[in-house]
Amino acid sequence: MADTLAFADAVEVGCGIALPMTLKAMIELDVLEIMAAAGPGALLSPEEIASKIQTSNPEAHEVLDRMLRFLATHKVVTCEVVVGEDDGKSKRRYGLGPVCKFFTKDENGVSLSPLLLMHHSKVTADAWANIKHAVLDGSVPFVKANGMTIYEHEDKDPHFSELFNETMFNRTTMYMKKMLENYKGFESINVLVDVGGGHGGILSIILSNYPHIKAINFDLPHVVSKAKTIQGVEFVGGDMFVSVPSGSDAIFMKEILHNWKDADCVKILKNYWKALPDNGKIVIIECVLPEISQNDNELKEIFLLDVIMLTYTVGGKERTEKEYQLLAKASGFSGLKIACNQGRSSSPAVPSSTTMRSFIGVEETALEIQLIKGGSERRVAQHYRLQHSTKGEGENQITGCVGFFLATRASFCGP
């Protein structure tokens, strides 16, 4: 029995391309949105769906039926068999499965559909076909396949650039809405710079909650040149490896460090430090990898993201807690202190005679990474709870999380 199940798993892995590519076709044909438009819990026949698609194939409904029943086996869609009143024949009708909530547009008009389309485009598929070369000769799969980095390709391919930025905007919108329900650290900020902000989606969401903020969206010139005007947002083109806009209270960056090798991250962080005033801070959102890979659904996304970075970027990766320690020291800090406390809602006390520059990563179990430079200590006591990712009863062992970091130049006075 175990061998039978293992064999079935092996076949599924071997033919795994069928699931995302079939779902990709459903997205491109607008099938999921057609089903969503029918209303909550609605079931549609393949004929009803086909009638809303511009097709010259008289057998389109039969093809749709075969594709949808396959998706039903993976719980992407639901399937119900009904008996026709006229002919007595069994017919299938389909509805949206729970996962489709994230592949159909929500109240903000966003979904994960662009993400699936981007990761299964020809450009990225060619990169995956070259992943073995990362082992054989150390080359970057995306560069091996396309002759340039993903960012250079984005600059030269308008279609891919649009898809890439749409993916980032949609995914970020879904994430940031949830984040702002809990994190209140923007209340005291007057001027905020979003580095790598794309078309300004993050700042638009932040300003909807904090309209008093003067916002600067900073990205490469070709990116900001295509951005639409957003009230309250100034678009500035430039290169974060050279400099970033100064004069802000805080710099925000979401999933930027994981795109770059350690040496590049050091350059980025040093430029941020130069741009900030003494009471400024950097708000960073990144993932924290566990030391050991485990068969845990909550962790699969993080390990998946790490392999994506391996395939698409030049030296990009997700990092473990220890790797963030090394990155901190490589950035010029002389020491690092880690505190992990179940349910902690504030930083541990530090003598008021000292100040500290700090990274603070906080999920459901507080992870605080405090960087110490030259004997002076600085810190902030702001936390953001994201998700519970501990293992072991009564333990404070970090196994992986979507980490939230604050790098700050804020003076600390008292506990």
pLDDT over 70, % of the chain = 79
Distance CA 378, CA 387 (A): 26
Distance CA 5, CA 74 (A): 16
Report which of residues 121 and 14 the model is more confident about: 121
User: Which structure tokens are listed for 60?
Assistant: 């389109």
Cβ pair 268, 284 in contact under 8 A: no
The per-residue pLDDT for 398 is 28
Cβ pair 333, 310 in contact under 8 A: no
Report which of residues 213 and 334 the model is more confident about: 213
pLDDT (tens digit per residue) in 161-185: 999 989 988 988 888 888 888 778 8
The per-residue pLDDT for 351 is 25
The per-residue pLDDT for 289 is 82
Of 92-96, 134-138, 376-380, which range is least confident?
376-380
Give the list of residues 6+ apart from residue 380 with CB closer than 8 angstroms, or none: 281, 347, 358, 360, 406, 408, 410, 412
Of 119-123, 201-205, 229-233, 273-277, which range is least confident?
273-277
Residues 246-279 as b/e (b if ≥16 CB within 10 A, e otherwise) read eebbbbbbbbbbbbbeeebbbebbebbbebbeee
Complete domains list, the chain, with CATH: 2-104 (1.10.10.10), 180-244 (3.40.50.150), 278-294+317-415 (no CATH)
pLDDT (tens digit per residue) in 70-91: 999 999 999 999 887 777 788 9
Distance CA 359, CA 335 (A): 12
The residue-averaged pLDDT of 323-337 equals 62
Catalytic residues: 258
Question: Of 27-31, 148-152, 293-297, where does the model show the most confidence?
Answer: 27-31
DSSP 44: B
pLDDT (tens digit per residue) in 389-403: 222 333 322 233 344
Give the list of residues 6+ apart from residue 230 with CB closer than 8 angstroms, or none: 200, 203, 204, 207, 217
pLDDT confidence band for 92 (50 / 70 / 90): very high
pLDDT confidence band for 371 (50 / 70 / 90): very low
Helix (H, G, I), strand (E, B), or coil: what is residue 258? helix
Query: Residue 198 — φ and ψ, nearest 5°?
Result: 60, -125
pLDDT confidence band for 388 (50 / 70 / 90): very low
Q: What is the mean pLDDT of the chain?
A: 79
pLDDT at 381 over 50: no
pLDDT at 195 over 90: yes
For residue 131, the tally of other CB atoms under 10 A from its CB is 16
C-alpha distances out from residue 360 to 266, 355, 371, Å: 17, 15, 9
pLDDT confidence band for 380 (50 / 70 / 90): very low
